[in-house]
A and B are shown apart, each in its own frame.
Chain A
Amino acid sequence: MSDFSLTTKKEGEILIIKTDGYLNNVGGEKIAETCYENIDSGTKNILIDLENSKVVNSIGVSILIEIIEKLQEVDGQLGYYNLAPIVEKTFNIMGISKYSKVFSSEAEAIENIK
């Protein structure tokens, strides 16, 4: 099941990560590793496309809290789009949508993450 993978692209200064698979501790660590490399290179705004990660667990989501923290240090922002309803609900229960942004589409995310 842990066949988690991700791809990245840049939209201007924004890093977009598209995930594929179960967002558990393994998936979370892979996202974090990619984010930290880019933050160290000067990226401040990161979007995660979760269209192909419809199953998450709280350990994977907890790692997103670490990324939010790291981005706060550089005055950056983390956002997501294409969330399954249960994933958005999980984000809301854990409160991470208070410190990061949930968007309904890539276009909206790119326009508003800045």
Chain B
Amino acid sequence: MNKISPTVELTLPVLPDMEIAAKRTGEVVAKHMGLDEEKTAEMSMAIIEACINAFEHSDSKEQIEIHFVISDDKLVIQVTDQGKGFDKSKVEIPNIDEKLGADYKRGWGLKLIEELMDSVEYESSKSGTTVTMTKNKEDN
């Protein structure tokens, strides 16, 4: 019989700074798992960015949902919005050399998430996007 992974669920309204509620929940989960300080900080930063993307890019006034799925060796975090979706292949990778002098300085969220987490997957359609981020408990 398969073991069911404990999951913490959080629903956030699209309100200023609500990403901090997700960050704090993530930190409680990380502490429970014994995730070290560096990995916890990286995971927290990635959650902030994923929530901001969900808030800002989804064009949705709906709530966003976050699932923290706990297992022995990793923490999987899913951030789901009900926005219009996006095509990951069309997202430009930001570069500081190009950002200096450019009008649009933002657009760093996905790069940060990908650098800070061990793996990231995207599932997007016209009815919403789920970003699934994994942080391993130990370095592989």
Contacts and interface: CB of A to CB of B under 8 A. Distances in A.
Interface of A: 1-2, 22, 24, 55-59, 61-63, 65-66, 68-69, 72, 84-86, 89-90, 93-96, 98-99
The 7 closest A-B pairs by CB, nearest first: A95-B96, A86-B41, A58-B108, A1-B17, A62-B105, A65-B105, A62-B106
Given A65-B105, A66-B105, A99-B100, A58 B52 contact: yes
Contacts of A66: 105
Interface stretch (B65-73, B109-117, B131-139): B109-117
Interface in B72-123: 94-97, 99-101, 105-106, 108-109, 111-112, 115-116
B12 to A, nearest CB: 13
- With most chain B CB atoms within 10 A of its CB, the pick from A61, A63, A84, A90 is A90
B52 A63 contact: no
Instruction: Categorize the interface residue count of chain B.
Output: 20 to 34
Contacts of B16: 1-2
Given A22-B20, A24-B17, A57-B52, A94 B42 contact: no
Interface string B6-46: 00000000001101100100000000000000100110110
Contacts of B48: 55, 57
Nearest to B38: A85
A66 to B, nearest CB: 6
Contacts of A94: 94, 96, 108, 111-112
A1 B49 CA distance: 16
A57 B52 CA distance: 9
A100 to B, nearest CB: 10
A1 B96 contact: no
